[in-house]
Each structure stands twice: as C-alpha cells, then as structure tokens.
Structure 1
C-alpha cells in the first residue's frame, strides 16, 4: 500500500527533528553509506570486531563490528519449523516452505534476503541462526540462553529461580559456559539474552509477590530461609511482623513451618496510573505501606543477585559480547529495573502497546540503553481467530501498518532506544500453537505470502530509523 507521506525504499531520513507525530515525508534524505552489517558509516567511529554500545550527544547507539552506528531492527522466530499445531507434529509453515523452496537451505537464503530487503538487520529470539548468514546481507543474531529458567526447571516447585540456593551460582556458571562459549568469537552475535519474561511481581499472570512465593517454598529451601531472615532483621519481633502480615505464627521458627503464607494485600501491577493508585492506597493504610515496602525491598535484593550472577557468568564465558537483558514481559518494580541497570549492557523488555513511550521512560531512568525485544499488532482481516496472544488488535492490515509506523517512530524519538524486534516472522496456525495462540503476528502468512502493506511500511520506517533516532532529544535530568 502507499504509506501516507512515505519515503522511497532505500531513502534515508534527513538530520532534522522527527518524532511519532511527524510524517516520514519530512524524514526524506539521500541514501547513507552503510557497513556490511547495515550500520551507518561514521568517520568518528572505529570498529572493535564486535557489537558494543556508545552514547553520542546524549543519544545511545549500538556500534557494529565495523564501526557503524547501528540500531537493531529485528524479527523474532525466523524459522522454517515455526509453530506446531497444538501438541501435534504438524507444522503448516514448514509444509508450505518445503513444497515452495525444496530445502531448508534454500528457504534460509530466501528468508534472509527478504528480511534484508525490508531493511531488517537482526534475527531475534527463537530464530534459526543459519538464516543470519544465508542471504544477500549479514544479519546479527540475538540468542536467548534461559539461564535462570534452566535452574527454575531444575527445581520444579519454583516459579522464580531461588537465587539464594548455594547451587544457583554454580548452575548458572556451568550453563553459561556450555551455552555461551561457542559464539564467543562470532562478530555476528549482537548480544545475549539471559532469560525470557521471568515472573518478578504482580502482572497479567497472577497476583503473587516474589516475597510470598519465596515464603511459600518448602521449609528447607534457602530462599524461604533468606526471606524469613530478612523479615526478622527488619521487624523487632513476631508481633510487629504480624501487625502487617496477619499470619498465625507465634514465633519466627513457627513461621518457617507454616504450610502457606497468605499475602495480606494484593497490589496492582507496576507502571502507569497503577503507581499513583498504589501510593494513594499506601498513604491510607500504614500496614499496606509496610507490606509494599517489604515486597519491594526483597525483590530488589533478588534482582541484584540474579543479574550479578548471570551477567558475571556470561562475561566469563564470553567476554567479547553484550549482555542484553532478560526480556521483561511486564514492567517490574523500580528496584528490579535499577538492579538491571547496574549490571546489564542493554535493558530489554517486551511492550505490547500502541505508544511505547511511558514504558521506555521507566527503563531509561537507569541511564542505560534499551532494546524493545518484542512488540506486534494483529489484524482482524487476516482470517485468523486472534483469540489468544498479546497486544492490540486492529481492524485491517492498513491499520496494522500504521500502528507499526507510529510505534517505531515514537520509540526512536527516545534517546535510550537502540533497537526494536517485531513478533514474529510468520502467522500462528489457525488451529492454535502449543499454548493456544492463533494470531496474525506474522510478516508472512503460514502459506508464506507476504503482508504487502505491513512490509512496505517496515521497509520505509527501517530505512529512516537512524535519521529519526539521531534527532532524538536527550532527557533533561
């Protein structure tokens, strides 16, 4: 489709202010010279052989291995075998591509070249890494190593990995060595994701606090012992604690044996208007305020230990590459964001909103670069149920393309943003994948037909991205 006020494929945006309210017509400009990675050639920069981060005039950038100013424009789940139907072995997209391309390698080459033609430069999470070097242009890779999740699964009664367990650090170090060493000298590795959407606090998945989850671990688990020890250090005696928590325990020892500790209050998920409502509720109830403080203090300690151990383990196994976060699924408490900022090279988060601005601001408060690791929009005219899956639904593919443009241009107007990754490459099966999701997230259908309106818009916005971002106005602290 013709995008309103769009620019021609291959054209770049000029060095003038651009934001989400300004059309791409005003971001026209001559084609920029680019490195083989797709970064913009900058005579003031030199390559290190690996991706790194840099701040120029208050605006953050990735710097590619050859010294180009780089924004990671990615697509998730770029793979031949994307999405089995439910729990079956049927993969509709693979069936199509096997008949269309004849072989996995032919598909890789076609998919890689197509992504590059849309001005993407990165294959995101859960992608076939062979795609990155199979086409007409090199693409960066961003693997997810699931270090914390692997320890949580090692202890199946945990929702969040017990960072106080003496085996935690040893497990993370061994897992990082196993999973991160192979690519340590690979210039195409942009950075490593530690985990995906760990549960940090109340969010769409449930009302539990991390503190109550740790208090309800089996009595012998180090995490439960650590949680009780912190509470005991804070409160003078058990009666003062029970004035807030309302447990039946008559001693700290008895608290350690209680079968289930029930949180005395349920908080709203962090972020936006909820923060103001929580503040108001806490001012009206001192017990609630004390409970909130207990939960926030504990999750901040857990986050600091988690990021410290995981980042150190990855850097030991692979000292050359960036550690680009744990893909926050929902905005966590401030203490978690602060801990991430102390340890990570780049903070990554998923944001399924029309306007990512407020969420970006919450993470950018750390002063670290930020990567949007997942976002998308679903069109109701695609013939899919769209009954399960994250993010906004729109009526048509035209609206879907416009939503992409508005979102990305708004994000690039934020000086801390260094990339955005679309979820995902192909649509989900109409029958639903393993978790029931059945949505129009794709750049292509399960029949490998390109969504023309969406991808034309992606091509134009991606081409203009560096010019838009260069004009971002640094925040005034």
Structure 2
C-alpha cells in the first residue's frame, strides 16, 4: 500500500520542490484499492484540494472588487499570506486562473485555452493542418510553465460543453470550403446510404434543400422531425467532433510537455455521454465543474458513477461553489448557481458537499471556486456571486473557512474508504422508505427529502455504451407516493420542426406504472417547454401530468400541487411528483403494503431512456415497456 499524503503542511511541499523529485518525471495518477489518486513526482499519492483564482484580482474592478495592492506592501507578502491561509484551511492546490508565481509552493493547474486558441471547436477541427497548428499553439501556451516544477498539468479549455445540436447546425450551415462541413456531409450521406427519403423520416430540410447535393451549400439546415430519430445522427457527429478535439490537444501537449498531465476541458456542470466516450485514450484526468444539487450539500451519485463507467481515468472537480445572500461584498447571486440565505447555511452545505465528493472512488480532486468574492457590481459577463473564501476587502468568511478546514481534513480518510463502495445488487423486493414529512410538490425545493441516500433507487439501466442520465428517488406516506428526479439533458428546443404546441412525445418525460392493489395505473409526467416568463428568447419547463390508457391515449390530470420543475435551466433537470393514493385506486397507503412498479425516464427527442425493471418479452407495440419490479412500503 502506498502512503496517503495530505498536503497540508508548507514544509512538506517546500521539501518536495527543493528535492530532486521535482525534476524527476512528473505528477501522475494511480488507482489503489479501487480509489483514484493523483501522485507527486516520485509516486507519493495525494488528493487535490484546490482553490481557483488564487491571484491578486483585477485592477479594472479595484473600486468594487478584490485587489491585492489594497492589502499588502508587495506581491511577495501577498503570496506568503495567501498561501498560509490556504494551508490553514486545508487546501493544497492552486486551481484554474491562479497566479503561477514560484513564491508559492502549492501545486498548480493552469487553464490554457488550447482548443480556443488553436481554433478547434467552432472553427475547423478536421482541417489537414489542425494537429500542426495545435502543436505550435501548445508550445507557445505552455512555455511560461515549462520550468515551474509546481505545475501538475493543464486544463485544455474551460466549459467547452459539447452541446450537440449547435455543433451540428453550425457546421451544416457552413460553406463547403470548411473541412468539417465536408466531414459532416459525408456522415449524413452515409448514415442514410444516399436515400433522401430515409433522411426525410428524421429531418425537415430548410428551404431550398431537396437533395444531398443541396446540403453542400452554405446555410443548409435540417430540423428534427417529430417522431423521427435524427438526434442519433446528431450525437454521432458530436462524438466525432469531441474525439477529434481530445486527440489533437492530447497529442499536442504530449509533444511539447510530455511529463505534465492532460486534465481536460472543465466540462460545464454537465457532460455529453458520447463526448466523454470519445475522450477515452486522450485524457490523463477528466475535469468537470459541478453545481451542487441541493442546499444541504447533496451530490447526485449518478453523475460521478456514470463518469466512472464512461471513462477509465480519474475525475477532478475543477469548480464547485456555495454562495449566500447574506454577504459582505454586496453580491446579489443573480442566477441558478448554488446559493442559500445565510453564511451559516453556506458553511454547512459546502462542508457536506466536500465530504460527499470525496466519497466517490473515481474523484481525485476538488477545487473550490473561488478565492475571493466576485465584484459587488458583477463581473464583465454580469455574473455576481458571493463565491469567495474571502470578501472583496480580503476578510475571510470565518464560518465557511472553518467548516471547509474540518471537511478538507477528513477528505483523505473518506476517499481511502471509497474504493470498496459499490452499488448493492437489486433486491428481489425493493424497499420504499416512508417520508419523514409529507412532500410538498409546490415549494421549489427538495428540502422535504432529508433521506436522499435512503430513497434513491440506483438500479436504472440504459443500453450500452450509455449510462443512466439521472437519479430517481421514491418515498411514501399514507396519502400517496412521492418521486423526484435529478438529471441532465441538454436540448436545443429550437431544433424541432413543429407548428403549435411542443408534442409530449418529444418532451422529457417520466413514465410511472404502479399497482398498489387495485390494478396497474399508468401515468406520464411530461416536462413541456414554454416561453420563459422572465427572459425573452428562453424556455422554461412546465410539468404536465397525464393518465395513460391501455391504447396509449393521454388524459390530462388536474395537477395543481402534484408536480413541479425546480427553477434550474437546461441542461439541469430537477422535477418532483406527488401521486395521491386515490389516483392509485386505494384510499391510503400503509407500512408493509406490497406494490409493483416500473419507472422510465426519457430525454428530449427520445435520445435515451433509462429504466427500472427488466425488458418486456416479445415484440409488438408494447415492446418498449418493462416488466414491473416488486416493492414494499417500509416504515423507516
């Protein structure tokens, strides 16, 4: 067994940097006892606990934001005090956008925007000179770090996203001179074997497009046809673009700085499964930003369990955060990113999130965003959040930093114990736990689900090579069943060719079939897009609950108070449903009561479906259904 090292002491890192180990090889990764770790040069393993933007601030925001000269006589004093604080709070790494000064001994991961500067995504990744161009740019961007032994590796970009439909629309609408347009055209032609009628079953072409040859023209357009399967082709193209990107940046960085880790593009609080699959073999570490799911610090397990199955490298959480409306910098927290009312709630939630992250065996690092609060007037892009460990006047948030120091100190032990953590096999009869209190499906909150671990049903399946795209939790009380679903689903809602209302068949939906003793009742909850009530040009999701007849006919259920979509924009899905006992054909539910159920969740445009239950035998129009699973209501 290798020794676990938690880099919390300045003397440890100073000794490492001054030793020959600093120049003998580089940082690495290792899997020990089932858990992933980073390693120092020389092989000693550690878990990276980082802070982003460990820098002196921005002079342009000096009047309303953090600026080092207002608090220190020189940069050496700033570096010494800042590093001492971070060590005291349990941090051991400088994350993205941090000062690379060698006056600090904290290891460093720079974000270098290699793809953007090499004109890869959104330009022409399949151009013949793409690798040559990327190598040249990589040599330029890594030059400032080549002699800095603290550099672990590089984030290649920030929040690329791999948004499927925008890539498809952009390159299809480009001119024929663009090599990636030609690549896409060939993919479309081959997918339909040159049969235009087959394409028309999946897509509605734009004006003037009546053949494959017409798609070679600039401004060519294809929209999804309701009921078709065009999203599968769009996902194939997304995977091809992502695979090309990861291949180019990996080969370029290994050519110019081979001892540094390639640490990914900081996925934006979401991941496209086909893009992650395409990255295999071209990453040393996969990095992802993450927006904590609920104010109590719950982290939805499907996200990291899915990454473990999709890729064979460790994951680094390159950005997570908690903000509070009560703050000293005047931040207004103007968006959906995690924020709570008080600094006390912030400290509790942030510390819980750290412990939850550390318990995933494929997570090898956690980086907090960010060292100081955003300016009181907001950043240049308008974002205005209390995300700092210190306020804009350089005063620490003592409750937060004390809570993080305690949680960070427990991380190595929690992570060492994570290696044997596995999902238990599905029992013959699934226990459904009783809710601690009646679920309120109209409060824009999941606070009434204190037992999130106990109510999760972790046995959903998706056809390989994909994995479940969300978690489903179920509980009960005497008045009925309750369910919530946390998931991710990017969808370009303008991509669908339609007149009138958005068809339920193309919406995100949860199908629920329950037999509580009065025969099977079939329901479907559809999340239907509608124009946003505040922001022109954007959508919000409205829940619509239906009873499903045996022939598939949908009958709306007056659902006031029965279903809600929490206020999170796509690609985030957070939906809650209360299903009264009377809708199940019984007066009340009770402990020990057996029932059978089957649950399916389907993403927009029917891209993927995850299922609890075994596939139904035979074919026919109900072949997509599943056989029910047995469950029992338990009073705990």
Q: Which residue of 1 aligns with 2:187?
A: 230
User: Which of residues 171, 184, 187 in structure 1 aligns to 2:133?
Assistant: 171
Counterparts of 1:6-25 in structure 2, within 5 Å, are: none
Q: How many residues align?
A: 405
Q: Classify 1:170/1:33 alpha carbon distance in 2 versus 1 (closer, same or farther; 3 Å).
A: closer
Q: 2:70 and 2:210 mapped to 1: Cα distance?
A: 69
SS in 1 for 2:414: helix
User: Which of residues 377, 387, 396 in structure 2 aligns to 1:450?
Assistant: 396
2:323 maps to 1:378: yes
With normalisation by structure 1, the TM-score equals 0.78
2:48 and 2:364 in contact (8 A); partners too: yes
Q: Classify 1:342/1:389 alpha carbon distance in 2 versus 1 (closer, same or farther; 3 Å).
A: farther
Q: 2:158 and 2:9 mapped to 1: Cα distance?
A: 35
Q: Which residue of 2 aligns with 1:245?
A: 203
With normalisation by structure 2, the TM-score equals 0.60
Higher strand share: 2
Q: Which residue of 1 aligns with 2:145?
A: 183
Q: Classify 1:262/1:430 alpha carbon distance in 2 versus 1 (closer, same or farther; 3 Å).
A: farther
Q: Which residue of 2 aligns with 1:394?
A: 340
The alpha carbon displacement at 1:35 in A equals 7.6
SS in 2 for 1:437: coil
User: Could you say which structure has the larger radius of gyration?
Assistant: 2
Counterparts of 1:245-394 in structure 2, within 5 Å, are: 245-247=203-205, 248-264=208-224, 286-287=227-228, 290-354=229-293, 355-356=298-299, 357-365=301-309, 366-383=311-328, 384-388=330-334, 391-394=337-340
Q: 1:417 and 1:445 mapped to 2: Cα distance?
A: 29
Q: Which residue of 2 aligns with 1:7?
A: none
1:50 and 1:188 in contact (8 A); partners too: no
The one-character-per-residue Cα deviations of 1:294-325 (angstroms, maximum 9, x if unpaired) are 01111111111111111010011011111111
Q: Which residue of 2 aligns with 1:272?
A: none
Q: Which residue of 2 aligns with 1:407?
A: 353
The alpha carbon displacement at 1:83 in A equals 7.3
1:351 and 1:359 in contact (8 A); partners too: no
2:323 and 2:333 in contact (8 A); partners too: no
Q: 1:80 and 1:46 mapped to 2: Cα distance?
A: 26
Counterparts of 1:53-68 in structure 2, within 5 Å, are: 53-68=29-44
Q: Which residue of 2 aligns with 1:218?
A: 175
The one-character-per-residue Cα deviations of 1:192-222 (angstroms, maximum 9, x if unpaired) are 11111114116xxxxx442222112233211
1:181 and 1:318 in contact (8 A); partners too: no
- 5+ residue gaps, structure 2, are 424-636
The one-character-per-residue Cα deviations of 1:267-312 (angstroms, maximum 9, x if unpaired) are xxxxxxxxxxxxxxxxxx651xx21110111111111111111101
The alpha carbon displacement at 1:387 in A equals 3.9
Q: Which has the higher contact order (CA 8 A, sep 6+)?
A: 1
Q: Which residue of 2 aligns with 1:271?
A: none
2:103 maps to 1:134: yes
2:51 and 2:91 in contact (8 A); partners too: yes
Q: Classify 1:39/1:469 alpha carbon distance in 2 versus 1 (closer, same or farther; 3 Å).
A: farther
1:73 and 1:122 in contact (8 A); partners too: yes
Q: CA RMSD in A?
A: 2.8
Q: 1:458 and 1:467 mapped to 2: Cα distance?
A: 15
Q: Classify 1:111/1:385 alpha carbon distance in 2 versus 1 (closer, same or farther; 3 Å).
A: closer
The alpha carbon displacement at 1:389 in A equals 5.1
Q: Classify 1:398/1:364 alpha carbon distance in 2 versus 1 (closer, same or farther; 3 Å).
A: same
The one-character-per-residue Cα deviations of 1:51-70 (angstroms, maximum 9, x if unpaired) are 10001111111111243321
Q: Which residue of 1 aligns with 2:66?
A: 93
SS in 2 for 1:342: coil
1:50 and 1:320 in contact (8 A); partners too: yes
Q: 1:33 and 1:381 mapped to 2: Cα distance?
A: 32
1:444 and 1:451 in contact (8 A); partners too: yes
2:28 and 2:43 in contact (8 A); partners too: no
Q: 1:398 and 1:441 mapped to 2: Cα distance?
A: 14
Q: 2:22 and 2:388 mapped to 1: Cα distance?
A: 36
Q: Which residue of 2 aligns with 1:162?
A: 124
2:375 maps to 1:429: yes
User: Which of residues 413, 421, 428 in structure 2 aligns to 1:467?
Assistant: 413
Q: 1:212 and 1:264 mapped to 2: Cα distance?
A: 11
